Structure formats: structure tokens, C-alpha cells
């Protein structure tokens, strides 16, 4: 499996809080009825939160050398290789859980 910018698939039987935005459209375009309810995540990594899952910090060298497998991160909320981004995610998740619990 390939993870784009740290995104991890959602697992069945888990509850997630998602931050979504309307699908972008060209100026002047009017959504068709079927498109009115079309949303995408605001970010690949910072749009999905789950209390039962934790973010995973990985050394980028492990990724480059193929040492990380899907089983290693399938239960993580997101993957990080930069500690400042991990800290930002943890800060946001704390605020999300305080507000939406």
C-alpha cells in the first residue's frame, strides 16, 4: 500500500471525526444535484481523527529502505516523518476531542 502525505485508510468499526470541504469548482460552475453533497478532506493528514487510533512517527529511512509494511501502520490515525508535524497533529487532535467528545 502507498500512503500519500501520511494518510492512512479508515478502519471498519471505528468512529472518526472528519473535517471536509466542498469539492472545488470553477468560477461560474453550478453544482449538479448529485454533486451538491460531494465533499473532500481538508487535508490528507489533518482531516481525520479517531480516539482509538494514534499517530505513528516513522524514520524516513525506514520508508526509503522498504522496512515499513501496511501491518505496521494500519491501526494508526496518520503517519509522520517530521516531529513538528506530529506535534501539530497531537495539538489539533487534543482540541478536537475536547470540543467534540
pTM, entire model:
0.79
Phi, psi of 18 (to 5 degrees): -115, 140
- The angle formed by the CA atoms of residues 26, 32 and 36, to the nearest 5 degrees, is 85
Compute how many other C-beta atoms are within 10 angstroms of the C-beta atom of residue 50: 20
The pLDDT value recorded for residue 69 is: 85
In the structure, what pLDDT confidence band is assigned to residue 51 with cuts at 50, 70 and 90?
Answer: very high
Question: pLDDT tens digit string along 14-50?
Answer: 999 999 998 887 888 888 887 778 888 998 889 999 9
The pLDDT value recorded for residue 16 is: 93
Rg of the chain's alpha carbons, rounded to an integer?
A: 16
Nearest to 43 by CA among 70, 21, 69, 71: 21
Is 4 a residue whose pLDDT tops 70?
no
Is 1 a residue whose pLDDT tops 70?
no
Q: Grid coordinates representing 46? A: 489533518
Average pLDDT, the chain: 87
CA distance 82 to 5: 11
Tell me how far apart the terminal alpha carbons of the chain are, to the nearest angstrom.
Answer: 32
Amino acid at each position: 500500500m502507498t500512503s500519500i502525505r501520511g494518510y492512512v485508510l479508515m478502519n471498519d468499526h471505528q468512529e472518526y471525526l472528519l473535517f471536509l470541504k466542498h469539492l472545488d469548482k470553477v468560477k461560474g460552475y453550478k453544482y449538479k444535484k448529485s454533486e451538491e453533497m460531494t465533499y473532500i478532506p481538508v487535508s490528507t493528514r489533518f482531516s481525520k481523527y479517531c480516539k482509538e487510533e494514534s499517530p505513528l512517527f516513522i524514520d524516513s529511512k525506514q520508508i526509503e529502505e522498504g522496512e515499513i509494511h501496511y501491518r505496521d501502520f494500519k491501526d494508526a490515525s496518520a503517519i509522520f516523518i517530521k516531529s513538528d508535524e506530529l506535534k501539530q497533529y497531537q495539538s489539533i487532535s487534543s482540541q478536537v476531542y475536547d470540543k467534540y467528545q
